[in-house]
Structure 1
Amino acid sequence: MARVKIYSSDYCPYCHRAKALLRERGVSDWEEICVDGKPAERAAMAQLVGRTSVPQIFINGQHVGGCDDLHALDARGGLQPLLDA
């Protein structure tokens, strides 16, 4: 099973959309780091990926980007192979 890590916010509709797609693809468990009210966590995320927006999604240690990136990866047929690896 793939290791999925998501930097997110409880109030972010894109975060909810990304997690819904992951659930549709069979992912039921992930590490979630909520950055709400945690500037140090958001800064660590920004240092890691060069972006301050959420969600930021990693699959098996590979940064796949945000919600739109995840959906584009899925549309190209690239998400399921990553999840199956």
Structure 2
Amino acid sequence: MSALKVEIYTKMFCGYCARAKRLLDDKGVEYNEYDIGMDQEKRDDMVRRKPGASTVPQIFIDDRSIGGSDELAMLEREGKLDAMLGL
């Protein structure tokens, strides 16, 4: 099985970002984090990948947008997250 690519766009002092990262950390999932707070290029990249995105976190699993912290938590509650992460 090939490793999944998990990416999360965040900002400093974002409670929702911290919550999403904590869930991924608890599952032992490695991810690339992009802080868009002071990086306009990464912000532009996020919006290009998810048109209309204006909030963080924005989470991508294998280039598929799954949304933010609430959507990640919902996938976990529904028992779908582990399968998406290949766990």
Tell me the TM-score normalised to structure 2 length.
Answer: 0.86
Q: Show the 5 A alignment for 1:1-85.
A: 1-27=3-29, 29-50=30-51, 51-84=53-86
Structure 1 gap segments, 5+ residues each = none
8 Å CA contact retained: 1:7, 1:54: yes
Choose 66-75 or 34-43, whichever is displaced more. Answer: 34-43
One-letter identity of the residue aligned with 2:85: L
Structure 2 gap segments, 5+ residues each = none
CA offset at residue 80 of structure 1? 0.2
One-letter identity of the residue aligned with 1:67: S
CA distance in 2, matches of 1:25, 1:17: 13
For the aligned residues, what is the CA RMSD?
Answer: 1.4
CA offset at residue 41 of structure 1? 2.0
* Count of aligned pairs: 84
